[in-house]
Structure 1
């Protein structure tokens, strides 16, 4: 990824601020949180309209969601093209990741140096990356530089150069990251889990590729990936800051109007994880064993997703009050941290979790995780646990909007999940309405197949490589 050459790792809800001027953008939070806080509280219909999340449609039919705020002269834009590394050729994992990393490494008549210099001159931040189901981009700029910023974005998505020098430089950065990963137990455990759970499926292949595949990726592979996956019909856009709907609408056509009307995506089949009930072991000479576990969850569009979300919080979603934390850390001191979360991918519904523990206590730890999961699915939570979980989830929701970058990311994700433009208004109401019967109903559904697949990397006592 392009951020790797700067020694940074990007995650969807984390944004770097390489320019001090842009780092001072965070006070936009005051105005945005004012907007969002209205949405988080019980509101009258008149108040609900003041959330100001506007659906902006360009003359050419391109849609974006906008939160217009003039508190600071800054604009943040998040874009997402549905597809991601699941569109990599089966024999060349890593194409999508390498492609995304090169969008800001020269485009149009600007080579990599000229493109980066143009961004630096105008205090513009532009970055891209790929996940399993999406190619994403982030733009940050002062509103006075919105025209050159939008022009650079236009060039990046429409005319990436993929010059040899840039390709080789970013390729070597990606390979260096893959080599470092060979000694990272947590990364290896996660990769091992995916490979075992999804054999012969795009989700089983590493997003960043392998040491064998990345050197074989050609310029034609990169250009072909961009051409097939970047189109108007699979594009989602969110914008926050000092730009009006009247300014944004024509800009959308200028930036994205020349993209193909339809993406040429390879169909990705829905899949359920394989190997449930198994324990995969990869030996690595380290004092602790890293553990990734997972099983069948619920998709985001499932009517029971919110009750499942609450149920997971009780299991392992809280750093201090979850059952796994209490049983694994507080009572037995087996690990410093242990967690679980729902992972609704586009084509698979998962519950995932992880921990790290001493090699000689690994078996005890994974047996306890299995037992606590099954106990929760069998007996359900107590009313007190449910009330505590709902209170935390409702109260902490505002933290998802504590920066302009997070606001834009949330607006984008809500679009991707097809939750509706009023989701921020209703989300806490949905959580608050969850009853004990709801979570017990979800627990019963998950109990139909409660087995978990464990992927371990270390030297766990009593276990051998390949699940022995």
Structure 2
């Protein structure tokens, strides 16, 4: 076991030194007999493989059982009828493999990293397929995961940032499934049972509702063999119905929440962008100039450097299956919260009205283009991007043409897209901190 762990660490350090340019990432695609979509990139220089399964089974699929997606994801680490959770972990560790699961708003993720030494990789894949074919959902482990989820909710109530984020999504998305808090609600968590998790798994963790990304030191033939083993282990089933579109906002809403903190946490934003939207490139550059570019962004200069109103301030776009948020976040002293919110709104209105200038566009473009290769710096980076591409059904040339598409954005187009897609008069604003 020690030898496997040492070798894994050495391979990981090597991986960090072997970044691939986007042009070198040649993506192959196929579908298994059971209907599982597969994206594969060969990385023969490293004796390791990364696998990522993505399923349309995140918190947006909870329905009224808030927290079910998260508990189902964690339950996959509880073992099978043949292996309990400790035995499962020991079996992966004995061959230097890393197994993990996660659940987000859009997707559920199952990941495996293994060395490609045949016996070790075979054990790792065999163990993974055992979990996928027959997860046990044992009562004791499920109850422990439920207690941990409830404790997580309690900790979130004591964190002003979490309080702000939860309410921000509730106000922004209303009745849309994106309003579901991934960690769930106390009442719904207490009502869930292992049978609910099993039903959720059998409905959403299916070949027709998922995709597999593979990268590493495997040939195409070897990758197909691994994909076939995983596909055969999964439940078969159809894709989930697409999420409903998010209704565009047409008026502002603001909510202040008392909280015994020295800092006020402020979130402002609105639904904005689907993954795969052609406006992604223009809006990414516009946002980079406004608040996504760190020390060089307008928000940092105007809100922090010039006026000293925020400890931190930034903006981001988060494209999702339905319209994901444009989100501004900042922290400031509670006695400066009103002034900071006013300054933020003024900056947003100016950005929308005046747009980005030519100098800002070129600085943003240079930063985004030059940093893009870093997103391909390791196997885990590549498999993450492949998983995202497969889940959102992005074209196979997405990585290859990313820089080209960023370089093709023109100033007039950027500012037109900014004015069309971002409405400063329809923002959700949540301020958490301070007491009357």
- Quote the residue 1:248 is aligned against: 223
Query: For residue 419 of structure 1, what is the aligned residue in structure 2?
Result: 394
Structure 1 position 198, deviation (Å): 2.0
The Cα of 1:293 is off from its aligned counterpart by 1.2
Q: Distance in 1 between matches of 2:144 and 2:248?
A: 36
- The answer to whether the aligner puts 1:138 opposite 2:111 as a matched pair is yes
Q: Residue deviations 1:39-64, cap 9 Å, x none?
A: 1xxxxxxxxxx533322544555332
Counterpart Cα distance in 2 of 1:215 and 1:28: 43
Pairs within 5 Å for 1:300-449: 300-446=275-421
Contact 2:210/2:391 (8 A) holds in 1 = no
Deviation of the 1:200 alpha carbon: 2.5
- Compute the displacement of 1:273 (Å): 6.1
Report deviation, 1:275. 8.5
Q: Distance in 2 between matches of 1:419 and 1:143?
A: 28
* Aligned position for 1:125: 98
For structure 1, the 5+ residue unaligned runs are 1-17, 40-49
SS in 2 for 1:104: helix
Question: Structure 2: how far apart are the matches of 1:303 and 1:37?
Answer: 23
Unaligned runs of 5+ in 2: none
Q: Work out whether residues 34 and 236 of structure 2, in 8 Å CA contact, stay in contact via their aligned partners in 1.
A: no
Q: Which moved more, 1:167-176 or 1:265-274?
A: 265-274
Rounded to whole Å, the distance in 1 between the matches of 2:234 and 2:407 is: 42
The whole-number CA distance in structure 2 between the counterparts of 1:273 and 1:219 is: 38
Query: 2:262 aligned to 280, 287, 295, which one?
Result: 287
Instruction: Tell me which residue corresponds to 1:23.
Output: 9
SS of aligned partner of 2:108: strand
| Contact 2:172–2:271, Cα closer than 8 Å, also in 1 | no
Contact 2:129 2:233 in 1 (8 A): no
Q: Distance in 2 between matches of 1:260 and 1:102?
A: 16
Q: Tell which deviates more after alignment, 184-193 or 346-355.
A: 346-355
Q: Is the 8 A contact 1:296 1:446 kept in 2?
A: no
**More off after superposition, 235-244 vs 50-59:** 50-59
How many positions carry a matched residue from both structures?
430
- CA positional deviation for 1:350: 2.3
Choose from 173, 178, 181 the match for 1:203.
178
Is 1:54 matched with 2:41?
A: no
CA deviations 1:169-228 (Å, max 9, x no partner) are: 222222221111111111110001111122233211210112222121111111111011
Cα deviation code 1:305-334 (max 9, x no counterpart)? 210111111111111111111111110111
Secondary structure at 1:431's aligned position in 2?
helix
**TM-score, normalised with respect to structure 2:** 0.93
Map 1:179-194 to 2 at 5 A: 179-194=154-169
Judged with a 3 Å threshold, the aligned counterparts in structure 2 of structure 1 residues 330 and 440 are, in CA distance, closer, same or farther, namely: same
Contact 1:64–1:239 (Cα < 8 Å) also in 2? yes
Cα 1:353–1:140 change in 2 (3 A) is same
1:79, 1:26 → 2: CA distance?
24
Partner of 2:208: 233
The structure with the greater share of residues assigned to helix is 2
Deviations 1:318-356 (A, max 9, x none): 111111111111101111221111122212242112111
The Cα of 1:447 is off from its aligned counterpart by 5.2
Distance in 2 of aligned mates of 1:156 and 1:275: 47
Q: In the TM superposition, what is the alpha-carbon distance from 1:37 to its structure 2 partner?
A: 1.6
Aligned residue in 2 for 1:152? 127
Cross-structure match for 1:84: 58
